[in-house]
């Protein structure tokens, strides 16, 4: 659904989707001369026309839970999306006009139950739901698993200034240097304030890392040299 940001009035509402939504943030991408809204739905991914909400294409990828918290990635005319429940991920090549897609490769290792996969220097990083896989590094071109680090538990993953930040469901925040050859940790700390599960998505803005844990919100200065 699209709303007028000033009045709140509905501009359009998508019609014709045969699937329920999933709790995934939509992503606006530009492919050639066309803009597309791309988001994950209960059993796959969908692209919409931002002008009128028309469905441009859908690609199915069922999973046991319909849990799809990670927004799709876009680069080089291709879209990558993934989900938990053992369904893994798929990279799709967009047609020149953006109105159709062709699968390029699939992978079952990276199946995140938590928020976030990031693309840094030609590699996809995210954490796997499946046991003993931890932080996974995939090659963007081929989908090949380059390495996995079980020490990083199921985690939300974000990136900024060429570095990777993971916030695990064990309460550990890790700073990781992107490296296609091997897991390269730089530092870590434990979130000790707050209550219940470590599931909130971290945010980075203006040199600060914001983390919410239950009823506690923490801001960390992460500027270089600080």
First-last CA distance in the chain: 42
- Does residue 68 sit in the same domain as residue 138? no
**CATH code of the domain covering residue 84:** 2.40.10.480
The boundaries of the domain holding residue 74 are 8-108
- Does residue 118 sit in the same domain as residue 36? no
pLDDT digits (tens, 9 = 90+) for 10-60: 999 988 787 888 888 899 999 999 999 999 988 889 999 999 999 999 998
Tokens of 103: 């699968």
pLDDT digits (tens, 9 = 90+) for 173-223: 999 999 999 999 999 999 999 999 999 999 999 999 999 999 999 999 998
- Does residue 31 sit in the same domain as residue 124? no
Which of 108, 131, 158 is a domain's end point?
108
> Of the ranges 77-86, 91-100, 180-189, which one carries the lowest mean pLDDT score?
77-86
Domain assignment present for 132: yes
Domain assignment present for 15: yes
Domain assignment present for 2: no
Tell me the C-alpha distance between 30 and 1, whole Å: 19
Number of domains forming the structure of the chain: 2
Domain assignment present for 18: yes
3-state secondary structure of 101: strand
Q: In the 8-state DSSP scheme, what is residue 181?
A: S
**CATH code of the domain covering residue 199:** 2.40.128.630
- Does residue 138 sit in the same domain as residue 157? yes
Tell me the C-alpha distance between 9 and 25, whole Å: 21
Tell me the C-alpha distance between 124 and 138, whole Å: 5
Tell me the C-alpha distance between 16 and 19, whole Å: 9
> Residue with structure tokens 């996969």?
117
The angle at the Cα of 215, spanning 214 to 219, to the nearest 5 degrees, equals 90
Rounded to two decimals, the pTM is: 0.92
Residue 33 CB burial class (10 angstroms; 0-12, 13-18, ≥19): exposed
- Does residue 121 sit in the same domain as residue 220? yes
């Amino acid at each position: 659904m699209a709303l007028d940001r000033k009045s709140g009035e509905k501009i359009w509402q998508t019609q014709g989707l045969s699937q329920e939504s999933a709790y995934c943030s939509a992503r606006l991408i530009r492919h050639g001369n066309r803009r597309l809204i791309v988001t994950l739905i209960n059993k796959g991914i969908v692209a919409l026309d931002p002008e009128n909400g028309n469905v441009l294409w859908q690609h199915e990828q069922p999973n046991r839970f319909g849990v799809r918290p990670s927004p799709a990635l876009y680069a080089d005319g291709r879209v990558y999306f993934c989900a938990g429940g053992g369904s893994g991920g798929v990279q799709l090549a967009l047609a020149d006009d953006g109105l159709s897609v062709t699968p390029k490769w699939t992978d079952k290792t990276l199946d995140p139950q938590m928020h976030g996969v990031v693309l840094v220097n030609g590699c996809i990083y995210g954490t796997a739901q499946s046991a003993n896989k931890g932080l996974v590094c995939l090659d963007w071109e081929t989908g090949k698993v380059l390495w996995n680090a079980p020490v990083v538990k199921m985690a939300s993953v974000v990136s900024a200034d060429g570095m990777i930040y993971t916030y695990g469901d064990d309460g550990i925040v890790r700073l990781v240097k992107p490296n296609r050859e091997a897991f390269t940790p730089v530092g870590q700390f434990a979130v000790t304030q707050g209550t219940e599960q470590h599931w909130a998505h971290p945010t980075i803005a203006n040199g600060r890392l914001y983390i919410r844990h239950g009823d506690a919100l923490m801001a960390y200065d992460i500027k270089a040299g600080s």
